[in-house]
Amino acid sequence: MPQVLFVCMGNICRSPTAHAVFREQVGERGLVEQIVIDSAGTHDFHIGREPDRRAIMTAAEQGLDMTDLRARQVQEVDFEQFDYVVAMDQQNLDALQNSCPEPYLGRLSLLLDWTDGWGTEVPDPYYGGDEGFTRVLEMVTSACGCLLEHIVAEHTLLPPKQ
C-alpha cells in the first residue's frame, strides 16, 4: 500500500492543503483503502495546531475540509514508513535530505516535480494575502493529480469492484 507524506515548514499552510487535495482526489478514484496520506512540517512551530484559517477557508471554497488535520513535525520513522515524501520547496527538501537516512533518499521529491508549468516550488503563502492561498491550491491540485496518476500506474491500483 503506497504511503504519501506532504511536507512544508510548519504544516499549517501548504502541506495540509496538499493533504486535503490528495485525499479528495484519492476518494474520487475510490482508492481510500489503498493509499495512506499524511502531512508534516520540518519545524516544530505549530505542533498540534489546525491549518491556517486562510488555508481552511480557501480549501472550503472548493469543497475541501481540512479541519481534522493537525500539525506535526517530520519524524525519523517517516522516512522508512512513507514511500513518497513530498516537499513543497527546496528549503524543506534540503532539510529532509539532511535528516533522511541514506537508504530512503530516493523517496524524497518536490511536489512540482510531478507536474509541468508551475515552476519548481510551491510558495509559502503565510505572510501574504488570500490570493497566495488560492494560487497554492491551484498548484497543489494540478501536481497532486499527476502524483496520483503516477502512484496508480506504479502500484497498479484499481478501485474496488462494485
Q: Quick one: pLDDT at residue 161?
A: 79
Q: In degrees to the nearest 10, what's the CA dihedral of 115, 67, 61, 41?
A: -30
CATH superfamily, domain 3-154, is Response regulator (3.40.50.2300)
Q: Which three cell numbers stand for residue 39?
A: 502531512
The answer to whether 108 touches 97, Cβ cutoff 8 Å, is yes
Residue 162 has what pLDDT?
67
Domain extent listing, the chain? 3-154
List, by residue number, the catalytic residues. 8, 14, 124
Tens of pLDDT along the chain (162 residues) come to 999 999 999 999 999 999 999 999 999 999 999 999 999 999 999 999 999 999 999 999 999 999 999 999 999 999 999 999 999 999 999 999 999 999 999 999 999 999 988 999 999 999 999 999 999 999 999 999 999 999 999 999 998 876
Distance CA 117, CA 77 (A): 33
